[in-house]
Structure 1
Amino acid sequence: MSLDRNVRTVHPQSSWTEIWHLWTVIVPRRSINGQLVYGKVWRRHDGRDWIYKKFTEFDSEAA
Structure 2
Amino acid sequence: MAFDRSIRNLNPRASWAEIWHLWTVIVPRRSINGQLVYGRVWRRHDGRNWIYKKFVEYSDGEAA
One-letter amino acid of the structure 1 residue matched with residue 50 of structure 2 = W
CA distance in 1, matches of 2:20, 2:3: 38
One-letter amino acid of the structure 1 residue matched with residue 36 of structure 2 = L
Structure 2 gap segments, 5+ residues each = none
RMSD of Structure 2 on Structure 1 (CA): 1.6
After TM superposition, the score normalised by the length of structure 1 is: 0.80
Shift >4 Å, 4+ stretches:
1-4
CA distance in 1, matches of 2:54, 2:4: 42
Q: Larger helix proportion, structure 1 or 2?
A: 2
* 2:22 paired with 1:22: yes
- Aligned-residue offset at 1:34: 0.8
Number of residue-to-residue matches in the alignment:
62
Structure 1 gap segments, 5+ residues each = none
Report sequence identity in percent. 68
Correspondence for 1:37: 37
